[in-house]
Structure 1
Amino acid sequence: MSDDVEIERARLSEEFRRKSHRRLPGREPAQVAIHFGVRVQSGSKQGLRIDREKYAQINKRSSSYWRRDQAPELWDSLDEYYEDDEHRVLTDSWCIEQQERALRNFDLNMAYFDSLDRQEFRRSVDTAIASHRGMVEVTDLNRWDGKTGLYVMVLDDYCQAYVGVTESAGGIKARIRQHWSTTKAFDRLLWGGVEESILAIDSFRALDTTRIFAASVKDPHGLENKVMESFPNQFLSNRIPGGRGDLIGFAARVGVDIVKTRELPEQP
């Protein structure tokens, strides 16, 4: 290995250490609140509201894994982004670039939210909810413990709504709490380009959700796309179409473009 390569590697390692340490917050007192009838608590790295200072924290561990024999050419083309032969650990340089791109996308999304008409958003929510029988407003998530079906999370401060379904034993209560407590993997923050990636619902925190609507139905997947289509695209934060996960996965494998994006105006 040449001296130039060693020097560049040392420079990137130092830059990575400096930037990743700067991004990671220190331990803070836990924040606790009662929200929609349930207790929510922040962790040491995430608050109860979305926060740029706590967004895009570097994590070098890849969130996905697949073997080289599944797609050798694609695997080999990605070698430069990994430190190890198994493609489990991302390089410092890739992580630094990913963080910068993700923060730029965060800023573009926030500017986009600010540009939206709040009265139009409220009218769109009212129209979408009223157009589907069985949709009710949720004030206490405990009443939806174990109840499966469809739900709509409304983030009024950002003029965004998210439509989801669950058939798990925990029901709608558990699924929404999962959204609130889950953090989108660092290497999956971007879904498309910097100027088009929709900010993931799991990047928002509990108190960002200001209203919830739900419907207990036997076939929530059949209703999901209908509810999504009731919202103008600019107000919807879903990154993929609705429907059964296995069918969506199949569509992706056969080359169907399932990525939902939006045009984010470039900011100075």
Structure 2
Amino acid sequence: MANIHPTAIIEPGAQLGDSVTIGPYSIIRAHVSIGEGTTVGPHCVIEGHTTIGRDNRIYQFASLGGHPQDKKYASEPTRLVIGDRNTIREFCTFNIGTVQDEGVTSLGDDNWMMAYTHLAHDCRVGNKTIFANNAQIAGHVVVGDWAILGAYTNVHQFVKIGAHAMTGMGTSLQQDVPPFAMVQGSPPAARSFNLEGLKRRGFSAERIAAVKQMHKLLYRQGLTLEAAREAIEALAQETPEAADDVALMSGFLNQATRGIVR
């Protein structure tokens, strides 16, 4: 049975899995579903049409599923979907989506969301990301798997951040960040590629060499973006082991709508 503190308020209709823990003074609204093993700390508010998976750890004072900070929002039943095994620290604010997009804000699995992080409406965050304290992403932002946002990173609406990318502290993004890139500053600049992160994730020497070459083509050889894209696509033939990494980069560059940080 769920372990619910007597001071918590659970509205009729809320669905709590077995072994869910709800701390003192937390409020769980009627359209919320929380999966087994998830712990909700004290003084949290979880509202809206919010679905939370298994084995999440939600710390005190988090606010999840609130209305989007969008003047066009008219109380439509849009959603927030959170996966499994996420850590959501103090004062995080995640909003539901809007009908101007797909109507869903989503956070995948195994993410580490530090204090005061904000997911605005219609954001899509993948798996195994890290958002350091006060990382804030505006509406419709897409963040790929394994990305790391440094403390006080601010991201403009509709920006895309590729898988394995990393931002330094205080970075302000108005353009897309390609996969594997390390960017920092305001305005931001690409400093390097995420070598240490790739080593930790078990990338082979051949794959790392291909990622390094893609970084050189984008940032170190004075090529136009179109020329760099063509040269990157050719790498798949030269290094078959890195074909998926090349496809990841090529697909991202082909879909970039705001230009990329260069």
- Which category describes the TM-score, using the shorter chain as reference length? under 0.3
Q: Which has the higher strand share?
A: 2
Using the size of structure 1 for normalisation, the TM-score is 0.27
Q: Which has the higher helix share?
A: 1
Using the size of structure 2 for normalisation, the TM-score is 0.27
